[in-house]
Every structure is written in structure tokens, then in C-alpha cells.
Amino acid sequence: MKENVVISVRNLVKKFGDFTAVDNLDFEVYKGEIFGFLGANGAGKTTAIRILSGLSAPTSGDAIVSGFSARRQPEKIKQVIGYMCQRFSLYEDLTVRENITLYGGIYGMRRQLIKGRTAELLGKLNFEKYADSLISSLPLGLKQKLAFSVAVLHDPGIVFLDEPTGGVDPVTRRQFWEMIYETASRGITVFVTTHYMDEAEYCDRISIMNEGRIVALDTPAELRKKYNASSVEEVFIKIARPDGRLHTA
């Protein structure tokens, strides 16, 4: 299993002043895995993802992502991962084709390769008729699918998806997850956060964060068994509010 580790997190800590946002994380993610990264608002997920994607430096500890250190080589990490966040990374006033070309260029892909990939991508999404439409004119579901495709345009080893399906209709949400399955089956690791608990069940393994720590990490089936719950949502509620009190923060 060792050679298949694509993310290795060791004693990772991030502090903002006196506040510890990420408190000693320690976990591994494997190649081709769909890894669900769950937690209540404010649990520290976004901070952790920012470190893993080279956007923020750890206070102590380290994460090795596709062989590069988040502490020492964040710029290298940025080149070998894909990233899609809840609000779009696409430029609204550029066309579909222009966006693809722009991102291909940012990732340092050769012009010829970008051209080939563009045709491939448009065909796969059945998007040819939108190739020269402005992003702003597309419905949300199409934008989201395109944003995902662009995030994996350069064949990254890992793609980070931060609440990728917020607000889309149930049919599009499922089409999106089929794209995730297909991507994972090609060996790309998918690291995903979501507030839809049914989506957590699609993942190979999930971790649940609470107050900066990972309090549970396993397959959905094992977690349901361990917490004697019928769904991941039930597991989540048991973990995130163990004492049943109302958190205000």
C-alpha cells in the first residue's frame, strides 16, 4: 500500500494567533481513492485543504502531496494538483474554449496538447455547441461540470473539490458524481468536501473533522457499523455533537 500513498499528512498544525484551526492531523490518502473530507462549519476543513494544495503554510508538521512538501515546495504542489472550489474558478467573461486554453496555459501544457484536450473534453461533455459561448450564459450545472473537467485537464495526480455540488439539481449532482467515479477509475485521487451526507456514502473512505482534529476515518460502511448508525448523516451528528448540546460557533 505504501507506494500508493499520494497524500501523507504528519502532525500537521495550523494556528492563527492563539486559535488552532488544524490540530495535529495525521492521515494518508491513496491513489485513485475518492476521499470524503467532512466536518461541521468551522471544523478546519478549508484550512487543511489550503495547506494540502500549497496555498497556505503549516505552522508545524508537514504534508507530502504527490511527493512534494507543503512546507518547503508549495509551488510544486500547485502544478501537480487540480482544484475546484464551491464558487467558480471559471472566468465568466471568457468563452468555454478560452477558459480551457487559459487553464491549460497556466498548468504549462503545450499548445498542441491543449488543442487535443479541448476537443476531447468538448466531445466527452457533449459541449461542442457551447464552445464559443461565454461562461456567464451557461446554466449552473454545465458550469460545474466544465469547472471539474478543467480542474483535471492536466491529468493531475490529485484533484481537490471543495463543495463541488452546492445548489445544483439532483440529476446534475448525479452526473457530477459519475464524472468523479470515472476520474477515480483513471487513477486520479479525488479529495472532496460536501455538506450532502448522502454524497459521503459515495466515497471510498471518509474522515470527519471536529474542532481541528480528525475524529473518525474509515469506509462509510465501517463507520456506520462502529457508531451503530443507519447512515453517515447519523454518524456525523453523533460525532459533531457528541453531547447533544447546541454549539453556537
Partner 1 sequence: MSLTTASLNQGCPEKQYSENRTMGSAIESAGISKKFGNNRVLNNITFSVNESEIFGFIGPDGAGKTTLFRIITTLLLPDEGKMTIFGTDSLTGFRELRKQIGYMPGRFSLYHDLTVEENLKFYATVFGTTIRENYDLISDIYSHIEPFRKRLAGQLSGGMKQKLALSCALIHKPKLLVLDEPTTGVDAVSRSEFWDMLKNLRNHDITILVSTPYMDEAMRCDRIALIQNGSLLSVDNPRKIKDGFGKRLYRIKARDKYRLLISLRKYELTATAFPFGDSIHVTFRDDIYDQSLIVHLGSEGVENVTIEEMEAGIEDRFLELMERKPGGETEQV
Nearest-angstrom CA–CA distance, 148 and 141 = 11
Q: Pick from 11, 113, 140, 226 the residue near partner 1 by CB under 8 A.
A: 140
Closest by CA position to 148, among listed 167, 131, 128, 165? 165
112 or 126: CB nearest partner 1: 126
Q: Does 195 bind partner 1 (CB under 8 A)?
A: yes
Q: Does 187 bind partner 1 (CB under 8 A)?
A: no
Nearest-angstrom CA–CA distance, 183 and 152 = 8
Q: Does 169 bind partner 1 (CB under 8 A)?
A: yes
Compute CA 68 distance to the chain's CA centroid, rounded to the nearest angstrom. Answer: 18
> Would you give the binding string for partner 1 spanning residues 76-95, x where CB under 8 A is met?
----------x---------
Q: Does 120 bind partner 1 (CB under 8 A)?
A: no
Whether 206 and 223 have beta carbons less than 8 Å apart is answered as: yes
Size of the site for partner 1 (CB under 8 A): 50
Q: Which stretch binds partner 1 (CB under 8 A): 53-61, 62-70, 109-117, 232-240?
A: 232-240
Compute CA 195 distance to the chain's CA centroid, rounded to the nearest angstrom. Answer: 13
Q: Which stretch binds partner 1 (CB under 8 A): 14-22, 50-58, 94-102, 166-174?
A: 166-174
Shortest distance, position 230 Cβ to partner 1, whole Å: 11
DSSP letters, 115-163, are: HHHHHHHHHHHT-GGGTTSBGGGS-HHHHHHHHHHHHTTT--SEEEEES
Q: Does 8 bind partner 1 (CB under 8 A)?
A: no
68-69 and 60-65 as β-strands: parallel, antiparallel, unpaired?
Answer: antiparallel
**Nine cell digits for residue 23:** 490540530
Please name the residue that has the C-alpha cell 500547485. Answer: 78
Q: Does 141 bind partner 1 (CB under 8 A)?
A: yes
Q: Pick from 185, 222, 225, 226 the residue near partner 1 by CB under 8 A.
A: 185
Q: Pick from 25, 49, 109, 142 the residue near partner 1 by CB under 8 A.
A: 142
Instruction: Give the SS3 label for residue 20.
Output: strand
Which residues in this chain contact partner 1 in the complex, by CB under 8 A?
Answer: 39-43, 86, 125-126, 139-142, 145, 163, 166-172, 174-175, 177-178, 181-182, 184-185, 195-202, 220-221, 231-233, 236-237, 240-241, 246-249
